[in-house]
Structure 1
């Protein structure tokens, strides 16, 4: 069997379309569509017709049109089985209701109240590290952000539940990535496969753990205890009719917030340390800023605004390794994009990975250059060319939480240690988020100038 030639896009296989190339390396596939076929490229995932758009203005228009002339894509059984019908998956009036209930829990004023937990957990980790030790950076960052996520989402008395939740989430991450890139994406929900069995087992663990925590919160609330965590805010939330989130909705939103508060930030921090290890000038500028602004003390929420280079390190890391590496939506009747009609039922995709690595918007796109984000940078970044958290009405609710957490963790750990990866450099695995494809190992060094008092 040989792929046939189709006008206006890449060659595709009968029945499979472009699935083999997409499954083999979806990130390289998106870049090849952009480079070899242009900014508006039709392609096929099995029998499904898709279009990849690569211009920032098209990406921004697509993101802004979801819930009007476009609707969110159905991303398969595994995705829905994990996230249920939470705010990421829900559509229409159901989505608007859930967003209104969840959004107040992650507004900047609430994120301020979680900053102390972020700093406390990072400081405890730094206290366990020893100069000269060799660490698995991703494992350390995952453990740290798990503790932060569990404490901010479920409260300090939920500590100790990180291990089963983490193991189950890691399994779910692998199986979701495998299903999305394989033929099982097209199988009906009732078809059993080994991967779906593992996904069911992992989700059962998550359901059990979250149910236990919800019961504890309900008992504490009945006893008159006041709590200041995300789950307590979700339990207290009421819609315009005075109705609360149902038990299933609490479960779905807890999973969604956990992924947003843990998965995305742990990988962002892992990539940041690897990138800083290979960029001594950027690392030196980070050390200088932390010394000058913090002077050896622990950061607070208010310091976030006073650490512009630290924020730029995070922003540039999210450009090079965006946690959300693809976004898609389905056209409805009358949909247009860039003034061009889009046939109803067509899935329109855009990829933060390929847009972020387009030399038209980011010269030398493979290079890690936080100075791109200087206020006086010689080449301003076009609007919508950077969108690691999506955009439009369905932009990630936890973006502020993730940005503040990443910057404060870098500030705490970066004052006391430099993570030296040497010549080792992990590649990427596109799962639910963009993960390292192998352990990221580093040696703990003291920053130039000796130990910092924190």
Structure 2
């Protein structure tokens, strides 16, 4: 066993109810159930989710080992019928050689150099939303953040806004996210593919709405560009990509990758921004330091991608918001022949789960784990955070391809908004609602307070 390997010694978890196992307890409150596994049983706990033999791990070293080994000895878990309807066989669900081929084709479209070219769209989209806000006005924070990030992803993915279709597509993606989340938590996870519940029929209608527009845009991008048209969007790059044999992605494959990037880029970032604004509203000292940084770095002008590295406190706020409320809260992998963790053999077919929620809020790695402390991410922070104690984008070979895009987007959008408005929310505590992502369980209705010309309300 390598010296750096932490031995893994699984212990039995709570007894379930045959044939559901622990499904009822998990489905009722997944976050509470997984936290209980960590606190009452330890870092490696066996349990059952319906007929699935499961292992829950909580230690960052085991999590790092799992995520690093997934392509060799673990395969991605296909989480239910609903998820597959949205992403198809995109890079997120592909395996083996097919996964390696698709990743090599998709990855160049979201490299740092390409993200730089998308930064202006991020700032412009946030600024356009803020142009419609007024001092003393009221907004639904989640709705506004979703509209901003959707506009960003549509501009960067498809090269233009989609007009009236924007809201219809957003509503369709909301249906998709809710259906996947509900399926993960309930018996729908085990229903045969041919069963058509009302929720599944709604999902199919939503996917049809998405597909119709995406395929239209793909057909448009495959045609000749106008003389006055310069195309530099993600779909154009996906269509132009070629593998080592010179083969392109098929139109269906482009659709799958585009929708996956859309879902990941839209929902996860809007969720992170929603929680960041919620936390800032409850932390006036943190917000004051943010406003001081924005004034010092930007001096009243809109942010650019070149400001990203200097907006260190803004970055720490985003990172801490994603620690407390990680959009993707659960990561599963299925053991194949030869799978091990910590030197212990994992039976074939075992689903190994790790949860960003429980790891990010573990007091061993984060003193005051439930407190909003962006300073814990500063270069001079006294407590070092272990590797993979924070992993909102996963890790290893299957790290989220859009991680850089999402981080730059969240920082630039937050800077654009906070430069011009304070988003004030009631003091009521809001719990997360567990779906595919961790969303607020109740609406966040905020009052806007304009910060004035000296804070950078001009976009010139």
Q: What range describes the TM-score normalised by the shorter chain of this pair? A: over 0.9
The residue number in structure 2 matching 1:4 is none
**Aligned pair 1:32/2:36, yes or no?**
yes
How far did 1:257 drift?
0.6
What aligned pairs does 1:373-452 form with structure 2 within 5 A after superposition? 373-447=377-451, 451-452=455-456
Whole-Å separation in 2 of the counterparts to 1:348 and 1:51:
5
The 1:166–1:326 alpha-carbon spacing in structure 2 relative to 1, beyond 3 Å, is: same
The residue number in structure 1 matching 2:106 is 102
Q: Which of 211, 218, 221 is 1:217 aligned to?
A: 221
List per-residue Cα deviations over 1:288-325 (Å, max 9, x = no partner).
10000000001110100011000000100110011110
What aligned pairs does 1:153-168 form with structure 2 within 5 A after superposition? 153-156=157-160, 158-168=162-172
Q: Which of 189, 193, 199 is 2:193 aligned to?
A: 189
Whole-Å separation in 1 of the counterparts to 2:320 and 2:251:
39
**Aligned pair 1:251/2:293, yes or no?**
no
Q: Which of 303, 306, 315 is 1:302 aligned to?
A: 306
Whole-Å separation in 1 of the counterparts to 2:457 and 2:451:
12
Contact 1:274 1:425 in 2 (8 A): no
The residue number in structure 2 matching 1:48 is 52
Whole-Å separation in 1 of the counterparts to 2:19 and 2:62:
29
Equivalent position SS for 2:38: helix
Unaligned residue ranges in structure 1 (runs of 5+): 1-6
List per-residue Cα deviations over 1:208-249 (Å, max 9, x = no partner).
111111112122448795401101100100111111111110
List per-residue Cα deviations over 1:373-424 (Å, max 9, x = no partner).
0111111101110000001000100000000000001111111111110213
Equivalent position SS for 1:71: strand
Contact 2:151 2:161 in 1 (8 A): no
Equivalent position SS for 2:333: strand
TM-score (normalised: structure 2): 0.95
Flag as ranges the 4+ runs of structure 1 deviating above 2 A: 157-161, 219-226, 446-454
Tell me how many residue pairs correspond in the alignment.
449
Q: Which of 132, 145, 148 is 1:144 aligned to?
A: 148
Whole-Å separation in 2 of the counterparts to 1:127 and 1:285:
24
How far did 1:259 drift?
1.1
Whole-Å separation in 1 of the counterparts to 2:375 and 2:40:
30
Whole-Å separation in 1 of the counterparts to 2:47 and 2:346:
14
Contact 1:425 1:440 in 2 (8 A): no
Moved more, 218-227 or 335-344: 218-227
Equivalent position SS for 1:66: helix
Equivalent position SS for 2:223: helix
Whole-Å separation in 2 of the counterparts to 1:201 and 1:152:
25
Q: Which of 233, 236, 240 is 1:232 aligned to?
A: 236
Equivalent position SS for 1:68: helix
How far did 1:449 drift?
9.3
RMSD: 1.6
The residue number in structure 2 matching 1:260 is 264
Contact 1:114 1:152 in 2 (8 A): yes
Whole-Å separation in 2 of the counterparts to 1:329 and 1:348:
5
Contact 1:136 1:441 in 2 (8 A): yes
The residue number in structure 2 matching 1:120 is 124
Whole-Å separation in 2 of the counterparts to 1:99 and 1:425:
40
Q: Which of 13, 22, 26 is 1:18 aligned to?
A: 22
The residue number in structure 1 matching 2:5 is none
What aligned pairs does 1:324-339 form with structure 2 within 5 A after superposition? 324-339=328-343
Moved more, 150-159 or 48-57: 150-159
Whole-Å separation in 1 of the counterparts to 2:393 and 2:189:
24
Whole-Å separation in 1 of the counterparts to 2:166 and 2:32:
34
List per-residue Cα deviations over 1:64-86 (Å, max 9, x = no partner).
01110111112111111111000
Whole-Å separation in 1 of the counterparts to 2:280 and 2:229:
44
How far did 1:194 drift?
1.1
Whole-Å separation in 1 of the counterparts to 2:308 and 2:263:
23
List per-residue Cα deviations over 1:165-194 (Å, max 9, x = no partner).
101101111111111111111111011211
Contact 2:121 2:152 in 1 (8 A): yes
The 1:453–1:32 alpha-carbon spacing in structure 2 relative to 1, beyond 3 Å, is: same
Equivalent position SS for 1:156: coil
Q: Which of 269, 288, 291 is 1:287 aligned to?
A: 291
Equivalent position SS for 2:54: strand
Whole-Å separation in 2 of the counterparts to 1:448 and 1:370:
26
